[in-house]
A = this chain, B = another copy of it.
Amino acid sequence: MKKIELVSEIDLNGLYSWLQHPEAGGIDLFIGSVRNHAHGKSVIKLVFEGYEPMAIHQMNKLADQAIKQWPLKRLLMIHALGSKNIGDPVVVIGVATAHRNDAFEACKFLIDELKNTVPIWKKEHFTDHTVWVNAHP
């Protein structure tokens, strides 16, 4: 069972209950959040923009790849869009498996690939300017 969502606010409560499965002994949950600095400068907030239908489609493809590769009982990928403050959760990846190594591997695969291929863009707001991340070499 998988849950793939783009949301304006990530609510962490209830995610464990959703990931629980009687045959799953290991759950790995990765939570990416807004750091207070980037390239040595102070970040005030981040704004995320997504090409929403393609992002959902690509997240589903990654989920299906992971489900083929590891025996996953539950899989969730949730990404926030819009304006986010320091400490806010931005992305959550969660998997439940019978054995913990599968959970770690699948979770790492999903967040690495999400960052490489899912069409979502992050704009860093500093005190005096803004930057679209990754855009420039």
Which A residues contact B (CB, under 8 angstroms)?
A: 12-13, 16, 20, 22-37, 86-87, 89, 98, 100-101, 103-104, 107-108, 111
Contacts and interface: CB of A to CB of B under 8 A. Distances in A.
19 contacts: A16-B89, A20-B87, A22-B87, A23-B36, A23-B37, A24-B35, A25-B33, A25-B35, A26-B32, A27-B32, A28-B28, A28-B30, A29-B29, A35-B98, A100-B108, A100-B111, A101-B108, A104-B107, A104-B108
A33 B27 contact: yes
Nearest to A112: B100
Copies of the protein in its oligomer: 2
Contacts of A32: 25-27, 100
A1 B101 CA distance: 26
Contact of A13 (B13, B30, B34, B86): B13
A103 B28 CA distance: 11
